[in-house]
Amino acid sequence: MFRDARLAAIADARRRADDYAAAFGTTLADLVEVSDTNAGFGAVREMRAFAMAKGADDASFEFEPAVQTVSGQVTVRFSLKTVSL
């Protein structure tokens, strides 16, 4: 699910970069950089540890999966094609 969120964030960044390039009357040239702004996902491990500890003490622990929201945020940089006059 984290991969899907990252891929969706990158696709959105590409669409937005295309829009900015069009506003300047040019197109995208090369991909310069892609970076994950939150690559750790530490909160997931913390929540899992908490749930496991809670389940050990609570006989009524729910084993049904809960709905979770996953998001991805990336920084993507492109160069623009030079416009010849």
Higher-pLDDT residue of 59 and 1 is: 1
Q: Is residue 20 part of a domain?
A: yes
Q: Is residue 85 part of a domain?
A: no
CA distance readout (Å), 31 to 1, 59, 66, 70, 80: 24, 53, 37, 25, 9
Q: Residue 59's pLDDT is what?
A: 58
* Number of domain units in the chain: 1
**58: domain range?**
2-80
Percentage of the chain lying above the pLDDT 70 cut: 68
In which band, very low, low, confident or very high, does the pLDDT at 4 lie, cut at 50, 70 and 90? confident
Q: Is residue 40 part of a domain?
A: yes
Checking if the pLDDT of 44 tops 90, the result is no
pTM, 2 dp: 0.60
